[in-house]
Amino acid sequence: MPPILDALFARSLYSSTNQISGFRLYSSGSGGGGGGVQENPKPFILKQCIALLLTCASSKYKLRQIHAFSIRHWVPLSSPDMGKHLIFRLVSLSGSMAYAHQIFTQIQSPNIFTWNTMIRGYAESENPSPGLHVYREMRVNSIEPDTHTYPFLLKAVAKILNVREGEKVHSVAVRNGFDSSVFVQNTLVHMYAACGHAESAHKVFELMPDRNLVTWNSVINGFALNGRPNEALTLYREMGLDGVEPDGFTMVSLLTACAELGALALGRRTHVFMLKVGLNENSHAANALLDLYAKCGSIREARKVFDEMEDRSVVSWNSLIVGLAVNGFGKAALELFKDLERHGLVPTEITFIGVLYACSHCGMVNEGFAYFRRMTEEFGIMPRVEHHGCMVDLLGRAGLLKRAYEYVQSMPMQPNAVIWRTLLGACTMHGDLALGETARARLLQLEPKHSGDYVLLSNLYASEQRWTDVQNVRRSMLKEGVKKTPGYSLVELGNCVYEFVIGDKSHSQSAEIYAMLEQIVKLLKSEGYAPRTANVLADIEEEDKETALSYHSEKIAIAFMLINTPVRTPITVVKNLRVCADCHLAIKLISKIYDRAIVVRDRSRFHHFRDGLCSCRDYW
Ligand code: ZN
Ligand code: ZN
């Protein structure tokens, strides 16, 4: 407690019981801030209170003490500056907004500063919605917003992801002539990007005459977060041409985009740049870098970043544990978890996602259950549906389908579509038609139009050669208007990321690619390869099926890389769907025949192919 407050409190001890009842009267006053007040505050006390508020920068408790003191000395909140400073301090200390609002309602005709402070307080709180109500109330009271109102308001809108409200605010800002302020424009870009409207963010950005680092970061991040990594990278290059130096935030956005695309070479260049300007010591950027290497399947580099990090948070540990697990290094992931414990760190829900995933993909059923128990009993983590999903996967992958089904039925929460889909996937893998149909029936109720489920079921029927059922599934798929998610594969070459779809002929090197594919098939057959046609939808003739298989996007992407990269260069492919059994077999053989390390990141895991083997040990 600062000495002045001591002195003031010492004096306040003399306050009489009469004043205490006065306080009751006062606090139940009619919102005007002084309903029951009969005495005027001594001017020096008001000054003291404000002086205290101005210096009280550290504690919410002290703030309450000052407030209590002011009440005891009849300082009404309606007096100039008192309420304003009190709310401002409260908001700056991230204090309770309910408390701030209570004070706010007692201020007679608050000025724009106070309205803005309230909007800011809500925007920065966990419940930003009332910020919009405050704004509306402000307009009803004929207070015109100023240049500070919009950034706070847009921040609140960005948090609640309500783009409609954001557009309304945008149009008011234009009408009032504030759309040319760089602060307003920056928050507009941020708001549109956060709401998933990357195009609108870009449009505002394009119209801006002055762009600073924040502007560039907002728009780059907008594209990176909204699944448009290519645009993010293009903008990053433009930023360089504009002479704007990137910072830690730029690096995080950029690395996120690279990780999404599997653009390892560009990610590495970003790393070199970070080392040059010393941004590698920024812990957020270092975590993003670690994540990039893990997501590009380069676990050795991820490990190196981890080992060289100065302050590793649990986020860093989690990135590497999950990274090791999904890359098929389950044992190493579990070792790292033990390391984390030895370092006295407390694992989080995400740590256990990695740990359970590791157990599941290594077929370690008992260990998985032991970790699940420790998670709940020892660390008090309430299992989320994702953790239960890992357990269903653990049992399902191990072929314990009956137990998996029992687990689903005894879950403490309603199993969602993801859980039933995991079970359906396991049934497809182990050929359990009856249970597969049960899971499918539940999925139809929960998510009737999910294309992946139709494909899984049709594959299940196809593996049993039940072609009529396959046809029925296809027909209902057409009838329901379900569209298959088109598969695509991404590869990075030079400064570009190339995308290929099934049977892709759009590339200028198309002829060479298909010639290469033919050569590959010939060589594969001499190695004893027979195409696994069971997964192809059944109405294609046998010969066509084989052709369709050789044109799966990952094979086209690999052929493209074999043509365009020197011998023995490793190849990394990012695929949006699960790799099929035929491609898996073919890529194993390609890795042997062409002597290439091939990494395929598919929707659920990583496959590291080398010398005719895959890290998943054909268990995925
Ligand atoms: Zn395939
Ligand atoms: Zn594999």
Residues pairing with 498 in the sheet: 491
CA angle 345/348/351 to nearest 5° reads 95
pLDDT attached to residue 530: 76
Neighbours of ion ligand 1 (CB under 5 A): 552, 580, 583
Say how many Å lie between the CA of residue 363 and the centre of ligand 2: 14
Neighbouring C-alpha atoms within 13 Å toward the C-beta of 320: 28
Nearest ligand atom owner, CA of 534 = 1
Residue with the larger pLDDT of the pair 377 and 28: 377
Q: Render pLDDT for 213-270 as a digit per residue (tens, 0 to 9).
A: 999 998 888 887 776 777 888 888 889 888 888 888 888 888 888 888 888 888 888 8
Mean pLDDT on 511-515: 93
Say how many Å lie between the CA of residue 615 and the centre of ligand 2: 6
Say how many Å lie between the CA of residue 541 and the centre of ligand 2: 28
Say how many Å lie between the CA of residue 528 and the centre of ligand 2: 19
Question: In sequence order, what are the residues at sequence separation of 6 or more whose Cβ sits closer than 8 angstroms to the Cβ of residue 306?
Answer: 290, 312, 316, 319, 320
Nearest ligand atom owner, CA of 612 = 2
Say how many Å lie between the CA of residue 387 and the centre of ligand 1: 29
pLDDT attached to residue 42: 66
Nearest ligand atom owner, CA of 607 = 2
Q: Render pLDDT for 368-411 as a digit per residue (tens, 0 to 9).
A: 999 999 999 999 999 999 899 999 999 998 999 999 999 999 99
Say how many Å lie between the CA of residue 585 and the centre of ligand 1: 9
Say how many Å lie between the CA of residue 197 and the centre of ligand 2: 36
Say how many Å lie between the CA of residue 429 and the centre of ligand 1: 15
CA angle 521/523/529 to nearest 5° reads 70
What are the helix (H) ranges across 93-148? 97-106, 112-124, 130-140
Nearest ligand atom owner, CA of 618 = 2
Say how many Å lie between the CA of residue 329 and the centre of ligand 2: 12
Say how many Å lie between the CA of residue 552 and the centre of ligand 1: 5
Say how many Å lie between the CA of residue 550 and the centre of ligand 1: 8
pLDDT attached to residue 35: 39
Mean pLDDT on 59-68: 77
Q: With left for phi above 0 and alpha for psi between -120 and 50, is residue 568 left, alpha or beta?
A: left
Confidence of residue 40 (pLDDT cuts 50, 70, 90): low
Both ends of the chain: CA-CA distance in Å? 62
Nearest ligand atom owner, CA of 554 = 1
Distance of CA 160 to the CA centre of its chain: 15
pTM here is 0.66
Distance from C-alpha of 405 to C-alpha of 391, rounded to nearest angstrom: 11
| Chain region(s) in the chain for CATH 1.25.40 | 211-311
May I ask the CATH class of domain 211-311?
A: mainly alpha
Say how many Å lie between the CA of residue 465 and the centre of ligand 2: 25
H/E element, 24: helix 17-27
Nearest ligand atom owner, CA of 583 = 1
Say how many Å lie between the CA of residue 576 and the centre of ligand 1: 12
Say how many Å lie between the CA of residue 525 and the centre of ligand 1: 16
Coil, helix or strand at residue 492: strand
The pair of three-digit structure tokens given for residue 125, joined into one six-digit string: 């709180």
Instruction: Give the pairing of strands 613-614 and 606-610.
Output: antiparallel
